[in-house]
Amino acid sequence: MIDVSKVLKGFSTAEARWARYGPYYAMFPVDFAFEVIETYTKPGEYVLDPFAGRSSSVYAGGVLGRPSLGIEINPVGWLYGTVKLQPADKEDVIDRLMDIYNGRDHFADEAHAMPEFFQLCFCHEVLKFLLAAREGLNWRENETDATLMSIILVYLHGKLGEGLSNQLRQTKSMAPNYSVNWWKSKNMVIPPEINPLSFLLSKIKWRYDKGKPDVHNSNVVFGDSAEELQHIVRRASDNDIKFSLLFTSPPYCSVTDYHADQWLRLWALGGAEGPYTMREKHKGRFVSKDDYYSLLDNVFGLCSTVMAEQSTIYVRTDKRKFTFDSTLEILTRHYPDHMVTVLDKPLAKDTKTQTQLFGDKSLKPGEVDIILSR
Ligand SMILES: C[S@@+](CC[C@H](N)C(=O)[O-])C[C@H]1O[C@@H](n2cnc3c(N)ncnc32)[C@H](O)[C@@H]1O
């Protein structure tokens, strides 16, 4: 039996070391994810998250013995999730790190030719290494390459001294011009000299120091839920599987552009050299109310066909009117026989139920939890 308190506090177990893996934007607090899973499911019951982000819900489910399935459209979130659920063996990751490091000098000219942002952000050794990793790692298909690439992404940028970059925010990448002007204004135009091999070796050593997490039968699919759920619905029906908990946090209408916010990590994965908003479906800021509404309607509608009769639907979302009203209307329409609870503000200390208590602890201002149960 897993000791959850050790996952939530400190780093004394493998499950704790991988639980918070992957700086991302708008993440569930890890203790909240564990509490929801423990409160609303029994071991062996299935959990579904169609907007998985860095997969804290899926990880908590898997660690607690609930087979869990996530879907995530952003490669950065997906990579963090798929790796934390099943990291490759440490020795293989280190061998691959050596391969990439040893090939870095082939990228010397390319590194010199990179735009100013990159020259001020990374020292030459790091930039050559990143270009070698960007070209050489098959992160979509190979487990070892995915693990190494995700470790690179975790440390790609952050506070000076904590990552591979000059001073930057860790959870989201700032615009190149803004960063360049900022470094110049602070007289920080020389990026830190870092040896990427020794830096990453020490990070890998720390991460694997307690081993690999024991995650039960859980997975995150890379793709658009509106499409992937159609296959999932078919497979669930063929295998007679019903989910007991739908636990998710959808994007908020017109608030976050997950792709632009992660542009530097997406560059490392082979994407563009700047934060260009993607014109592809479901990869922008969700500014069209019609598209936003139909995404939620479609996804929650498909999910409703695989949920057990006695299931719980737990959705954390934005309090702002359009997102909240649409989500509530869509959920109550797809789950007409469930009872609805809305937790929208910190609650008094003497409130009894666990549901209400963790509403108190983990909601950020402007967020609301919608819970449907039977
Ligand atoms: C609020 S975040 C979820 C954060 C997550 N709870 C966590 O702890 O990291 C919403 C996520 O939905 C993803 N997303 C948006 N549209 C999607 C779609 N059509 N299919 C799958 N994922 C999608 C976004 O990329 C983003 O990562």
| pLDDT tens figures, 60-86 | 999 999 999 999 999 999 999 999 999
Q: Which ligand 1 atom is the nearest neighbour of the CA of 252?
A: 1
**Ligand 1 center from residue 296 Cα (angstroms):** 12
What integer pLDDT is reported at residue 358 of this predicted model? 46
For the chain, domain boundaries: 4-75+217-251+288-373, 90-207
How far apart, in Å, are the Cα atoms of 265 and each of 130, 134, 163, 172, 269? Answer: 11, 10, 13, 9, 6
Specify the amino acid at residue 165.
S
Closest residue CA from atom 5 of ligand 1 = 53
Q: Report whether 297 contacts 330 (CB < 8 A).
A: yes
Closest residue CA from atom 26 of ligand 1 = 53
CA distance 203 to 143: 18
> Facing residues of 313 across strands?
246, 372
CA distance 288 to 102: 47
How far apart, in Å, are the Cα atoms of 357 and each of 78, 228, 338, 364? Answer: 30, 34, 21, 14
Q: Which ligand 1 atom is the nearest neighbour of the CA of 49?
A: 6
Six token digits for residue 68? 């869990």
Pocket test for ligand 1, best of 21, 51, 58, 318 (most atoms within 8 A of CB): 51
Q: What residue ranges line ligand 1, CB within 6 angstroms?
A: 24, 26-28, 51, 53-54, 56, 71-74, 77, 224-226, 249-251, 258, 282, 295
CATH fold for domain 4-75+217-251+288-373 = Rossmann fold (3.40.50)
Q: Report whether 219 contacts 22 (CB < 8 A).
A: no
**Ligand 1 center from residue 255 Cα (angstroms):** 12
Pocket test for ligand 1, best of 32, 37, 72, 291 (most atoms within 8 A of CB): 72
Pocket test for ligand 1, best of 47, 73, 293 (most atoms within 8 A of CB): 73
Instruction: Identify the three-state secondary structure at position 313.
Output: strand
Longest Cα–Cα distance of the chain, Å, equals 64
Output 204-210 pairs: Cβ under 8 A, ≥24 positions apart.
Answer: 204/90, 204/93, 204/94, 204/97, 204/151, 206/17, 207/17, 207/18, 207/21, 207/87, 207/151, 208/17, 208/87, 208/90, 209/17, 210/11, 210/12, 210/13, 210/14, 210/16, 210/17
State pLDDT tens for residues 178-231: 999 999 999 999 999 999 999 999 999 999 999 999 999 999 999 999 999 999
CA distance 151 to 144: 11
**Ligand 1 center from residue 251 Cα (angstroms):** 6
In terms of pTM, does the model score above 0.85? Answer: yes
**Ligand 1 center from residue 196 Cα (angstroms):** 30
118-130 residues labelled b (16+ CB within 10 A) or e (exposed): bbbbbbebbbbbb
* Strand (E) or helix (H) holding 294: helix 289-304
**Ligand 1 center from residue 139 Cα (angstroms):** 20
Instruction: Identify the three-state secondary structure at position 108.
Output: helix
For residue 175, the tally of other CB atoms under 10 A from its CB is 13
With a cut of 70, list the residues of the chain below it in pLDDT: 277-279, 282-283, 345-362
Six token digits for residue 106? 């082939």
CA distance 22 to 73: 16
Q: Which ligand 1 atom is the nearest neighbour of the CA of 226?
A: 19
How far apart, in Å, are the Cα atoms of 199 and each of 11, 48, 106, 355, 361? Answer: 20, 36, 21, 42, 35
